[in-house]
Amino acid sequence: MKIALAQINPTIGALAANAEKIAAVAQQAAAAGAELVIFPEMAIGGYPPRDLVEKTDFVAASRSWLEWASRQAPSTAILCGCATPAAAETGKSVHNSALVLKNGELLFQQSKMLLPTYDVFDESRNFAPAERQRVWEWGGLRLAITICEDAWNDKHFWPQRHMRRLYAQDPVADQLRQGADLLINISASPYSHGKMGVREEMLGAIAREYQVPVLLVNQVGGNDQLVFDGSSLVLGPMGELRARLHAFAEDWMVLDSSDWQGLVRARPAQEIEAAYHALVLGTRDYVRKCGFSRVLLGLSGGVDSAVTAAIAVAALGAKSVLGVAMPGPYSSQGSLADARQLAVNLGIALEEVPIGPGFAALNGMLAPWFAGLAPDVAADLTQQNLQSRLRGMVLMAGSNRLGALLLSTGNKSELAVGYCTLYGDMAGGLSVISDVLKTEVYALARHINREREIIPRATLEKAPSAELKQDQTDEQDLPPYEILDQVIRDYIEEYRTAEHIAARRNLALPLVRGLIQRMDRAEHKRQQAAPGLKISKKAFGMGRRFPIAQQYETLASANARELEPAAAPAGGRN
């Protein structure tokens, strides 16, 4: 039997457009001889649909449009993810299902059993789990059809990686014990650092354990904060790679079940290249799926805005990107020159809007209110924040007037410790690099410059600075980014204690405690930040839920403070 793997890029809720995409690929695959075309999890409605599935008309329309798509390629069956009504009288009213249809008629249905509720996933909120798993016979094969998480609970693989299994059930084992010849997994598995390799290793372990071929069809594209890499694949019964589709692009392929041999398409060899492609794809899809055709961003002459601008150009084209330079009283001529050169290198338009007159006017307005107050740290921060917020106002004015989406340019290191200004440099509709640590921003810059100089060398060589006061540099307020980023990884992504981090990284304990305190206190900023694209194991945003008003400290830290007070957190913008 000839089976096609078809990874597509659906838009959440765009049922008609998604159905047309499914129909078009099914027609092409049928013309190539495919008897079954496999699409990703929830492909008709897009993933994650979140509370859209609470709307009964969305669920009914999803099924109707999928039936329509199937009728457009009547000679082949399609296997596709779809929200379906749950028949149980108690619990949730919707299943996350895999439907097999031919010419609009339902041949088989299997719903998802394991519903993830961790990190970015919250499926138990919306879906009811399947009560049982069945094998489907088609074309002389017994097919085990699973949906994403159903395959992520192997009893041997995860303990070997010193990770705990999350569920008592094992849908894969249940189905393969029924004598399945082939395991199919339709997925919406989002990208993060190292995820493609883990996915392949895990499915390879299952193939070897049960000695059956494994087919994965994964969604591709950006939906809100998540980026899906595709990278659909076929593994032989010994776990060997037989075929793989492109990463970060729509793709499809027809294979014969007699040998499962296909093409191994190229994918990024290095993680930084994969991260770059994820950010480009996520930016393109967020902008276009939200209905925008243009973006603008502030160009400071620094590396963060330079990398963001380069990603935007790669995603949307130079004509769709506008840079805005906003020199202030402490901006250096070198930074303005770097912003101009970047615009030339990228081929984008650049507007220059000095904020000096506005800054002077605001100070005049506020002078009567603040008269008589002695100069102090608060006064210094107020002056810095006024400049940042003026720039935010300029950029939002441009966004309103031009109908362009504003991209904010802050990185994960700044967002972690609150080294950013609410309603200032945090303003925007999408924060492109908010899950990219500062050290990774420089790595991305080097990747962008791999063939020619796009980001000016001076931008990469000068000390990072917000330029909000005289001779300011980031390291006056923060430790070197090489140190800060290590602490952020350990604390934010691994939940390590201050004592563990200090010992592991050979850092002074008061320094680590002070940084952790800053990270905890900055939660109120992060929950007001623009949505950001997730590329790490743990990003700020939908996958990380912490209270703002909280005062928790680990017992070890609390006891240690009695003997050695933690360093007071340094001042920062707010």
Catalytic residue ranges: 41, 112, 148
Q: 527: closest CA among 405, 431, 441, 440?
A: 431
The answer for residues whose C-beta is within 8 angstroms of residue 288's C-beta and 6 or more apart is none
Buried b (16+ CB within 10 A) or exposed e, 270-298: eeebbbbbbbbbbbbbbbbbeebebbbbb
In total, the chain counts a number of residues equal to: 574
Q: Which residues on neighbouring strands pair with residue 351, listed in sequence order?
A: 324
Q: How far apart are CA 574 and CA 572, in angstroms?
A: 6
Instruction: Determine the 3-state secondary structure of 453 from DSSP.
Output: coil
The answer for residues whose C-beta is within 8 angstroms of residue 410's C-beta and 6 or more apart is 304, 420, 425, 426, 431, 433, 434, 529
Q: How far apart are CA 225 and CA 544, in angstroms?
A: 12
The answer for residues whose C-beta is within 8 angstroms of residue 496's C-beta and 6 or more apart is 490, 504
Q: Are 388 and 425 in contact (CB under 8 A)?
A: yes
Q: How far apart are CA 328 and CA 420, in angstroms?
A: 17
The answer for residues whose C-beta is within 8 angstroms of residue 141's C-beta and 6 or more apart is 1, 181, 182, 257
Distances from the Cα of 354 to the Cαs of 24, 227, 298, 366, 383, in angstroms? 51, 36, 12, 20, 16
Please report where in the chains the tokens 């909000």 appear, as a residue: 468
Q: How far apart are CA 217 and CA 189, in angstroms?
A: 10
Q: 247: closest CA among 214, 277, 270, 272?
A: 277
- Dihedral sign for Cα atoms in the order 112, 226, 200, 187: positive
Q: How far apart are CA 457 and CA 101, in angstroms?
A: 56
One-letter amino acid at 269 equals A
Q: How far apart are CA 306 and CA 339, in angstroms?
A: 8
DSSP readout, 107-159? EEEEE------STT--GGGT-PPPS---EEEETTEEEEEEEGGGGS--TTHHH
- Dihedral sign for Cα atoms in the order 113, 116, 121, 124: positive
Tokens of 82: 């779809």
